Chains A and B, each alone.
Chain A
Amino acid sequence: MPHIDNTLPIPNIITLHSLLSGNPPLRPSLRQLTEPRPLEISIASSTEYGHIEVKLGETYVSCKVSAQITSPYEDRPFEGTFAIGTEITPMCSPAFTSGVNADFSTAAPAIVPATAISVNNIDSNKEGQTSATAATNNINNNNNNNNNDNAVTMGGGAVMGLAADQAATEILLSRLIEKAVRRSNALDLESLCIIAGQKCWAVRADVRFLNYDGNLVDAASVAVITALLHYRKPDVEVIGSGEGSELVMYDEKQREMVPLSVLHIPICVTFQFFSTESVERNIKGENANSLVNNKNYIKENSDNDDDDLERMDIDNDAPRGSNEIIIVDATAEEELLSQGSMTVTLNSNKELCQISKSGGLNVDSVRILECCQIASDIVNKWTKEIKKVLAADIEKRRDLRAERVLSVVNDRSTE
């Protein structure tokens, strides 16, 4: 079955279209074009660590971080492993079908309670090493789904959206999150090493999309990074050395859990591009402009290129410049109409971790730089939000009695 998104009634599309093509363009929600929906981060469990739920408007994403002990990759003996599982299921929207990307459907087992395990006896747990690169996705799957997010051109065409190209969406989404969090070294993998070459932590973030209303990427990136920041792994200790060494894991009651070493907080911000002009105009208008600037070029080509006159005409009647409408944090409706998207990942140090704009509407380089600035502001705002939620949670979880017992009279941290 084609995954036609029938969740969106046609009149809405027309309304949306007319709103966005107005002057000035408006969004149905009357949000500013560069204003994201309110971000709501909640900690799902009051006892567990690393289970975060993020709401971005109606988009609802949950992320659970878990860790277990495995043996490291042979070529990286000093590093732990980190995998992110993102799977889009019909749970979030009927537009998606399940089973396209079944690789991450099995969740990692929870952490075993404190036990003493002999180092030499632990088999390498291959399951924990499931790399995010080992995907079951077949490229051929995508061949049939030729539509992408620019499939719906404004003012007509088939009603197909981002959701229609699920396999491609899933691959891009998982790669985006992976590039944003894993490749940018947000999680310090070396700190996950327990015994070089033998034992390390395998951290895994499983993302579940609970409701789809556009912009899964941003919500997922916030969820993953917040969950990583929130997660506490049990303390481990290596007793003895060589043959008889033992690995002891302490549970929460025995020793305080250890937070993961998160080096920076990368956050994705996705922009959607719209244009009231046709694709042709978008490319040719730009072309005409450059041809006008370069008169010689026109003369050289005018005899073998019939389009030139047409291009000139277009240039005369169309105001050149940035005709693209750029919106931030699109809803499902807006995403459906979008002609192109770009995801920018930044951290609060104004470091770009990742940019990804694959095809879609051509956008002026100046506008792209503007987008990055906008993204930077949003990232700052969201980073503060994340930190606020985490700080509030730490405060909530403080066990005052235990603290009193453990604290010393001249504790340096007390002020």
Chain B
Amino acid sequence: MSRFELFSPEGLRVDGRRYNELRAFDCSINTHPHSSDGSAYISQGNTKVLCLIRGPSDTLTTTSGATASSADEPTISVSIIQPPYATTERKSTSRTDRRMAELSIIIKRALQQCIVKKNYSRTLIEVSITILQLDGSLLPACINAATLALIDAGISMYDYISACNVALYDTFPLVDSNSLEENDLSFLTIGIIGNGDKINLLLMEDKVPLDKLQKLIDLGITGCHNIRQLMDNVVREIGIDLLSKKL
């Protein structure tokens, strides 16, 4: 059992947030203009993720000939690197780690849905994600970073895809969970394209009573919208900045 009081009777969490407060959200795009076509750095609290995008580029003719399948949509490849220094325990995750493989498939599928596929037939979009520091909400941070990097790369998308985690403490949902909360509580990852109520990504690995799901999803959707707004603000700011420079 944890020494920490994850959610105090006064309604404060371990790091002093209220249930519906996101952690400090900071992002910047075009961080690596020379090494990539699009890049973004995102920090949600102590979770810091870097995403670089190369592409859209020509698909290499692969030995397997699988490119035939990509006649009307881009091939998206996602690789995730988690260096040993990302977490407090210096444990290196192998590239063949099944969890990471799953994570990259999930991210790929989520992105596939929000990229305007028809514009990128027979192209390759490489997404590489580096986890610089991990303090919970890994998948959301990766997806948010990838969205921003895709925007930076100028790849046409229907809308932002934003994601966030919601943990469940007793009956209280807690948005944007950190690793302390994720270790002790069950949590749910939710991803949304745009500003609607339609869920693109929903992932949960721990036990949650069925009747609590609604609460979690509702708060998650709000969290996603908030994150989308935060990202949008930054992108627009940078856009205005770029425009003024051009003129």
A residues in contact (CB < 8 Å) with B = 1-2, 132-133, 135-139, 142-148, 150-151, 157-158, 160, 164, 168, 171-172, 174-175, 179, 183-184, 279-280, 282-284, 286-287, 289-291, 294, 304, 342, 346, 350-366, 368-369, 372-373, 376
CA gap between A284 and B193 in the complex, in Å: 10
Nearest CB on B from A150, distance (A): 7
The answer to whether B110 touches A289 (Cβ under 8 A) is: no
Instruction: Across the interface, name the chain B residue whose C-beta is closest to A340.
Output: B113
6 shortest interchain CB distances as A-B pairs: A359-B109, A286-B196, A362-B198, A144-B66, A143-B77, A146-B75
The answer to whether A376 touches B210 (Cβ under 8 A) is: yes
Instruction: Across the interface, name the chain A residue whose C-beta is closest to B76.
Output: A146
Within 8 A of A (CB), among B166-203: 188, 192-203
CA gap between A357 and B201 in the complex, in Å: 5
Nearest CB on B from A329, distance (A): 19
- A residues within 8 A CB of B238? none
**Quick one: given A146-B74, A358-B203, A362-B193, are A139 and B101 in contact (CB under 8 Å)?**
yes
Among B72, B188, B198, the most chain A Cβ lie within 10 Å of the Cβ of B198
The answer to whether A357 touches B72 (Cβ under 8 A) is: no
Nearest CB on B from A268, distance (A): 13
The answer to whether B69 touches A158 (Cβ under 8 A) is: yes
Nearest CB on B from A263, distance (A): 11
- A residues within 8 A CB of B202? 342, 355-357, 368
B residues in contact (CB < 8 Å) with A = 62, 64-77, 79, 95-102, 104-106, 108-114, 116-117, 158-159, 188, 192-211, 213-214, 217-218, 221, 239
- B residues within 8 A CB of A294? 195
- B residues within 8 A CB of A290? 194-196
Q: Is the interface of B mostly helix, strand, loop or mixed?
A: mixed
- B residues within 8 A CB of A346? 210
CA gap between A2 and B100 in the complex, in Å: 25
- B residues within 8 A CB of A137? 96, 98, 101
- A residues within 8 A CB of B111? 359
Beyond known contacts A1-B64, A368-B202: 14 more, CB 8 A cutoff: A144-B62, A146-B73, A158-B69, A158-B71, A158-B72, A175-B99, A183-B206, A279-B113, A283-B114, A287-B158, A287-B194, A360-B200, A363-B199, A368-B199
Nearest CB on A from B93, distance (A): 10
- A residues within 8 A CB of B99? 133, 175
Among A287, A358, A361, the most chain B Cβ lie within 10 Å of the Cβ of A358
CA gap between A378 and B203 in the complex, in Å: 21
Instruction: Across the interface, name the chain A residue whose C-beta is closest to B115.
Output: A279
The answer to whether A1 touches B214 (Cβ under 8 A) is: no
CA gap between A138 and B105 in the complex, in Å: 12
Instruction: Across the interface, name the chain A residue whose C-beta is closest to B79.
Output: A139
Nearest CB on A from B173, distance (A): 14
CA gap between A143 and B69 in the complex, in Å: 12
The answer to whether B112 touches A138 (Cβ under 8 A) is: no
